[in-house]
Amino acid sequence: MPPFQMLRRRFLCTQTSTFSLNQTSSNRRRPQWPIKQVTKSNFSDSLNEINTHISNSDFIALSLHNTGSYSSPWHRILPFDTSEIAYLKAKYAANKFQILQFAVCPFSLRVSNKLEAHPFNFHLFQRDELKIGSPCYSFSCQPSYLASMAREDFDFNRCIYDGISYLSRAQEAAAKHQIGNPVSSGYVAQSSLSRSVADNVFVERVKTRVGHWISACKRSDMKADDALVNSLRKLILGGDEYGSRPSLNIDVCSERQVQLVFEMVKSRYENVVPLTIPAKGGGTQSVRVVLTSSKEDRDLLEKDLKNMEEEQSKSIRGFREVIELISASQKPVIVHNCLNDFTFIHSRFISPLPPTKDEFRSSLHSVFCDIRDINHLMKEVGPLNKYTNLPSAISYLKRNFFAPVEIDITHKAGMEECKNHGHNVVRISELFARLCFILKLTPEAQHDNLDGPLTKPYSNAFNLGSNGFQETDSINIWTHNPKKISINNLVFLWGFRSGISAGKLKNMLCKSHDVLSEDDVFDVRLIDKNCAIVVFWKNGLSEWFLDAIGSGDGLRELAAEGLMVAGYDTYTRVCKSEILGTDLAASLSEFDRASRDHVDDSAEVYWNSELMINFDDL
Amino acid sequence: MISVMKQRLMVRAFTKTLTLIPLYRPSRTAFCTASSSFAIKNVTKSNFDSSLADLRRHVRDSDFVAIDLEMTGVTSSPWRESFEFDRFDVRYLKVKDSAEKFAVVQFGVCPFRWDPTKQSFIAHPHNFYIFPRQEVGADDSSYEFLCQTSSIDFLAKYQFDFNMCVKEGISYLSRAQEADVRLQLHSSHEYEPLDSQVTSKDIKDVPLVRMADILFVERMRNKISDWHDDLLQIRNGGSQRTPEDSNVSVNQFQTIFFKTRPAIKLDAFTSRQLRLIKSVVEKSFNDLAYIRVSDGSCFQQIIVYTDSRLDRDLLMKEVKESHLKEAEMKIEAAIGFRHVIDLLSSEQKLIVGHNCFLDIAHICRKFVGPLPSSLEEYVPLVQNTFPFIIDTKILLNANNILQLKMKKSSTSLAKAFAILCPHIASGVGSFGSALNSSVAVEVQVDDMRSSNWNSGAKHEAGYDAFMTGCIFAQSCNHLGIDFTSHSMLTKQDKLQHYINHLYLSWSSGDIVDLKTGQTRTESSALNSYKTQQPKILFPNIVIIWGFLSKLKAREIKESLTKVFGLTSVTSIFHLDKTAVFVQFSKPELVSDFLKLKSEMEKKKNDAIYVLHPFSDLLEGGLTGAACYEVYKEICESPVSKVLFADQAEAVCVNSEAKVLRSMAHKTDSFADSESAIDSKTAETSGEILGLVSC
């Protein structure tokens, strides 16, 4: 490509971004905290920097920017979702969308309400850097999401051209086999190896071969032969060069033979280093023995190998290095929506998401031992479930509480202001600091007694289901007094005219049967324009209703109009299927038809009419 | 051109051009006139309307229009790439999946017009940035799209401007989406009068629970009534209040005139307050109307005084009509880039693409409507949109003269361009040293013209479309087509054999005739080496997945031949590391195998079965197997798991798993029904198809 072409495109791109920036910056007020922007080019420098900040800070706030969050309105976590279903929905989204930005902010709360923060914003793009098959084959994008990011002047070019790549722990393990670089470590000598005859024959054969090769190498060292003789010798002995040192490949058929070669070499030859050459599909292809000239030389080689391995795994891990640092620090991690964020983090940096919430919880706990959700803390303060976005939550606290917090960001961003992203992570830190102040979780208390009675209930209270369907009952403070109802009393209803209002639908049901015409028997809410949920306030009615429409006995008219119903178990099956489908009504009818096994699941959900989604919001 | 199925090929082509460019750049700069370095016409949101007007003129005058698309990906999972063992219907399903999941981000349109006075073509390359931004309607899910990481990386390699695409890209509505949105609009307006009738009932529903609400409503009632009385007094010529008085009472109200009627603008109220005001107005004042008018970008609430009930109804009708008109205009604007497709479609010009089956599928999906589930139904849809399509890749491979010109080299876009149009590719120009047989192409962008233009931006849709058009023009010249004659290109005898023939899959040489819907496999010299291979017989094929990864094709073949005999397995082909196609020598063996497998699964704890040759295959307990029709169903599913075994499990477990499994059980009857279902395709395609066995 001719250079002028490239120049032109670059020029155009900067032109548009600065142009739209001027537009937006005049339109909206935005705090301009200096946040260090990290891309591929300055990643390794920033890594050292963030490492020191992590070890010097008390807390670490995280915030992610993804390519989308839900494909269809009903894929959001809804008030009637059990925590298990909330997890399944979050898992679905995490598997689908991709992380574009990962903001990390190590911070400390100092006396006199000073928040000392060190925000970093990492631009990520997972690509196949090692040419071993893409770690992420494809990902989904929600145009509305991207468009709103564009309005905030998100630089997609920078993210894609210069984003930091990474592999999860599971992917790294798989990749190491595929790369096929020689590995020195990993073989611990097992003393109690009872050898068979075949083993002995094999060892003897290898011993003679290695012996011949070593003596040949030593001889050629002494007198300088001409090139022809050297290459002939190489051909006959099968020797090779490993760096500047001579080496020999020994083919092996099993892991046991690898063991035998290692044992033999280590016991007999002091200056020979054995390495395994991994096969492409896992396992070992052959053992390479490298001859060193002295003990010092051997140590040198071993050190080199170790460095090489480290360099390699560093490049494999990429951004995950930061995750590992956070994990190793064991510092409390502060997030705003922990279920969504940590399903993403788990699937991208640890391993694929497990099938159930409990497995997820324990797997996550082994990596991050202390997670605190701002949403959860907010519920301690008041009716904050409405203040789901960060700026409104902060302004709510500012209005209603006296909690002065001074933000002190010491480092310089060193970037032009317009590319300054990742403010949410500072907002999370700020919100956490204010909440600590309000809840009297003073920094001193944090320092002196992390496990003290005050902090205990908040740390690690893992709040799945950001809107209050957690099974830990301790924190259900609502102003609108939810009624506790069993999921067995919920019935999904569809097949009505698209766009009908909940009131009309309720009217229709009321008129259909005497049982339903009484007051306060049931309530109807729309989930989307094609599907509604009916809650029966009395036990047993839902079964009657399902049966009456299903068989067409009691509610013949409704059934004749095409109304369809399904119990909560069908909904659970849809969510477990991993194919959620964009239209809930269509998915429900498909799964309802598939089977009618009744699962006895009496998990409780809270019915809170205030929380019920409003059709206007959809 | 990203739609070339094999990305690896493209990358290779790129590295070649990379090494070539430095070689010929000096010569090019030497010959370049100043005008030849102007940029291609990039079209975004901001200059779309003006560009469309120009394009209309260019397309109308053109002899043919070359197109090219850049997408966010090609295959949603590795096993959705094109395989030897894909039947025509499966190939279509794979293309359909791709067109449904990925987004088009760049659209190149290049009209070519023969100028008899200059004896040269005039090309107008346009490079449209498009983005599926939702402008109207409520349902967001249909706009979601997939990105294939490697394709995004590929675009990045060629300096694709993602910011331009997301921020400035032109949005669009398909014909089907437009119809939906219009339906939504009209139905909501139909119900509106109904709603206004029941408003009196609804008012009760607005709960005045909070003390603040009750106070607010009282205050508003007084204020509005003051304003109302004032108005009447003025009208009746009564005494006017002093300005100060009116200021005090109506300070939040600004009296304006709306359609010659006095009105108040409601500013600085919350949405809840506005709702309360609305209920007050409707309950307490018969001659006031509460309406919502849009003021360019945002809505403005006003209360209007009307003389009579009739006047009020008239006003409401007017307002409703203007709302409708506005919504219509919004929809019209949201159609966006589809205007270009509608233009190409209505002008019925010859559309030229390079290996463009996927491109056409994208156009149909994005700008017409959902793709039908079978190739037979899809073909008329294409014909209705574009009656004349020519694929330069078909042209180059099928025509002997052109094959000779191509010297049997690769028919990738860049390569073909370099070989057939060296005078344009090198930027030397058609004068002087160039051969007599080369066609001159003059490029015009806005007011700039050049006869030796070359932006060189490969894999930019606009430039790729230009290259495709040049290849076509040059090919026509080699075929001896006279541009100066007044007959249309679409009527040219020499092209009839190629028009509307597209590669369903280039690698296998499967061609579909869009006119008849018939499919055939190319029998050119290129594919002749395949004829020695065993034929693919789809009823003989079983697909096995989920076995342990240590099993390779050889082991699987061994365990099968141990049971069914040495000659029972014709070939084995890996879809990916988790699945294989096995072709048996006889169709009965498919049902025999499935029967035996399900029997063994039932008695897997029996001692004899541990020694059975299948025990390796079934080890782990996750091995699944099915006939070819199930493979088709798996391809049809909207799910895309990376590994085939996961995909098969997801599809089978979730949808008609029971049905499929029972199909495997009732093997005898099922074998018959199978052959009945696909006898037509099997006869026409299976017999001719060549095969590379592993």
* ipTM score over 0.85, yes or no: no
Please answer yes or no on whether A16 and B167 come within 8 Å at the CB atom: yes
The parts of chain B modelled with pLDDT lower than 70 are: 1-37, 137-141, 188-209, 235-254, 294-298, 427-436, 456, 486-487, 523-534, 604-610, 653-694
B457 contacts chain A (CB < 8 A): yes
- CB atoms inside a 10 Å sphere around CB A235: 9
B495 and B553 within one domain: no
Alpha-carbon span B586 to A71, nearest angstrom: 46
| C-alpha closest to that of B431 among B124, B118, B123 | B118
Render B95-119 in DSSP notation, one character per residue: HHHHHHHBPEEEEEEEEEEEETTTT
CA distance, residue A533 to nearest chain B CA (Å): 20
Between chains, do A578 and B639 touch, taking CB under 8 Å as contact? yes
Contacts of A178 (CB under 8 A, 6+ apart): A132, A133, A280
Chain B residues in contact with A91 (beta carbon < 8 A): none
Q: B77 — contact with chain A (CB < 8 Å)?
A: yes
Number of helices and strands in chain B (H, E)? 27, 21
pLDDT, residue B209, reads: 64
B545 to chain A, closest Cα gap in Å = 18
**B538 found inside a domain:** yes
Task: Count up the domains in chain B and report the number.
Answer: 3
Same domain, yes or no: B546 and B659: yes
Q: What is the pLDDT of residue B582?
A: 92
Distance CA A47, CA A55 (A): 12
CB contact B145 to A (< 8 Å): yes
Q: How many CB atoms lie within 10 A of CB A206?
A: 20
Nearest to B168 among A16, A67, A134 (CB): A16
The identity of residue B474, as a single letter, is Q
Kindly report the CATH number assigned to the domain that includes residue B119.
3.30.420.10
Q: Which secondary-structure segment (H or E) carries A248? A: strand A245-251
Instruction: Say yes or no for a CB contact (<8 Å) between A160 and B39.
Output: no
Q: What is the nearest CA distance from A144 to chain B, expressed in angstroms?
A: 7
Chain A: residue whose CA lies nearest to B152: A160
User: Which residues on neighbouring strands pair with residue A409, listed in sequence order?
Assistant: A117
N- to C-terminal Cα distance for chain A? 47
Give per-residue pLDDT as tens, A114-166.
Answer: 888 999 999 999 887 766 666 788 999 999 889 888 888 888 999 999 999 99
Report the candidate in A515, A597, A592 with the shortest Cα–Cα distance to residue A550.
A592
Are A160 and B156 in contact (CB < 8 Å)? yes
For residue A405, how many C-alpha atoms fall within 13 Å in the half-sphere facing its CB?
Answer: 30
Pairing state between β A36-38 and A120-123: parallel
With an 8 Å Cβ cutoff, is B202 touching chain A?
no
C-alpha–C-alpha distance, residues B3 and B24, integer Å: 28
Q: What is the pLDDT of residues A579-607, one digit of tens each?
A: 777 888 888 887 776 655 444 444 455 44
Give whole-number Cα distances, B112 to A531, B59, B489, in Å.
Answer: 52, 8, 12
What pLDDT does residue A221 have?
58
Indicate whether A60 pLDDT > 70.
Answer: yes
Tell me the fold of A478-617: Alpha-Beta Plaits (3.30.70)
Identify any residues that bridge with A564 across adjacent strands, giving them in sequence order.
Answer: A494
Of B37, B143, B639, the CB nearest to A143: B143
**B456 Ramachandran zone, left/alpha/beta (phi>0; psi -120 to 50):** left
Whether residue A128 and residue B149 make contact (CB cut-off 8 A), yes or no, is yes
Nearest to B144 among A10, A20, A142 (CB): A142
Tokens of A265: 């070499």
B149–A143 CB contact, under 8 Å: no
Predicted local confidence at residue B165, as pLDDT: 93
Joined tokens for residue A19:
């142009």
| Mean pLDDT along residues A198-214 | 84
Do B436 and B474 lie in a common domain? yes
Q: Taking a C-beta distance cutoff of 8 angstroms, is the pair B274, B301 a contact? A: yes
How far is the first Cα of chain B from the last one, in angstroms, to the nearest whole number?
30
Residue B693, in any domain of the structure: no
More confident: A95 or A78 = A95
Specify whether the CB–CB gap between B87 and B628 falls below 8 A: yes
Whole-angstrom Cα distance, residue A275 to residue A305? 10
Same structural domain, B511 and B548: no
Contact A2 B456 (CB under 8 A): yes
Which class for A112: exposed (0-12), middle (13-18), buried (19 or more C-beta within 10 A)?
Answer: exposed
Fold of A35-167+318-448: Nucleotidyltransferase; domain 5 (3.30.420)
Task: Tell me if residue B442 falls in helix, strand or coil.
Answer: strand
Q: CA A142 → CA A147, B73, B639, distances in Å?
A: 9, 15, 17
CB contact under 8 A, B21 and A1: yes
User: Structure tokens of A260?
Assistant: 């035998």
Contacts (Cβ under 8 Å, ≥6 apart) of B52: B339, B340, B343
Q: Which residue of B has its CA nearest to A587?
A: B655
Q: How far is B152 from chain A (nearest CA, A)?
A: 8
Instruction: Find which of A4, A5, A148 to mutate to test the B interface (most B CBs within 10 Å of its CB).
Output: A5
A109: nearest Cα among A441, A466, A513:
A441
Which of B523, B541, B574 is the last residue before a domain boundary? Answer: B523
Residues B296 and B370 in one domain: no
Q: Are residues B158 and B223 in the same domain?
A: no
**Residue A106 contacts residue A428 (beta carbons within 8 Å):** no
Q: What are phi and psi of A82, to 5 degrees?
A: -75, 165
User: What confidence score (pLDDT) does residue B371 get?
Assistant: 94
Residue with tokens 């029709």: B629
**The predicted structure's pLDDT at residue B62:** 92
Average pLDDT taken over every residue of chain A: 75
| Domain termination site, one of B471, B490, B523 | B523
pLDDT score of B155: 92
The closest alpha carbon to A159, from A18, A39, A58, belongs to: A39
Which of B466, B571, B561, B531 is closest to B689 using CA atoms? B531
Mutation target to probe the B interface, by most B beta carbons within 10 A, among A18, A40, A88, A141 is: A141
Give A348-401 as a DSSP string.
Answer: III-SPPSSHHHHHHHHHHH-S-EEEHHHHHHHHSSGGG--SHHHHHHHHHHHS
* CA dihedral sign, ordered A546, A550, A553, A556: positive
Share of chain A above pLDDT 90, in %: 15
- Choose among B37, B132, B642: nearest Cβ to A4: B37
In chain B, the residue whose alpha carbon lies closest to the alpha carbon of A20 is B167
Residue spans per domain, chain A: 1-30, 35-167+318-448, 197-302, 478-617
- pLDDT attached to residue B161: 93
**Tell me, what's the pLDDT at A384?**
52
Domain that holds residue B419: 7-172+336-523
Q: What is the pLDDT of residue B26?
A: 35
Give residue-wise pLDDT tens across range A333-353: 999 888 899 999 999 999 999
Nearest to A2 among B25, B77, B149 (CB): B25
Range A23-26 contact pairs with CB under 8 angstroms and sequence separation of 24 or more: A24/A151, A24/A152, A24/A153, A25/A418
Which of B163, B168, B657 lies closest to A157 in CB terms? B163
pLDDT at A477 over 60: no
Q: Do B496 and B590 lie in a common domain?
A: no
CA angle B99, B105, B107 (to 5 degrees): 90
* Closest CA of chain B from A518, distance in Å: 19
Q: Output the pLDDT for position A328.
A: 93
**Residues B599, B665: one domain?**
yes
- Choose, out of B24, B27, B146, B159, the residue to mutate when testing the contact with A (most A CBs < 10 Å): B159
User: Which domain CATH number covers B662?
Assistant: 3.30.70.330
Q: Is any Cβ of chain A less than 8 angstroms from the Cβ of B29?
A: no
- Interval A17-36 mean pLDDT: 50
Whether the CB of B188 is below 8 Å from some CB of chain A: the reply is: yes
> Residue B331 domain-assigned?
no
Which helix (DSSP H) or strand (DSSP E) does residue A566 occupy? strand A564-567
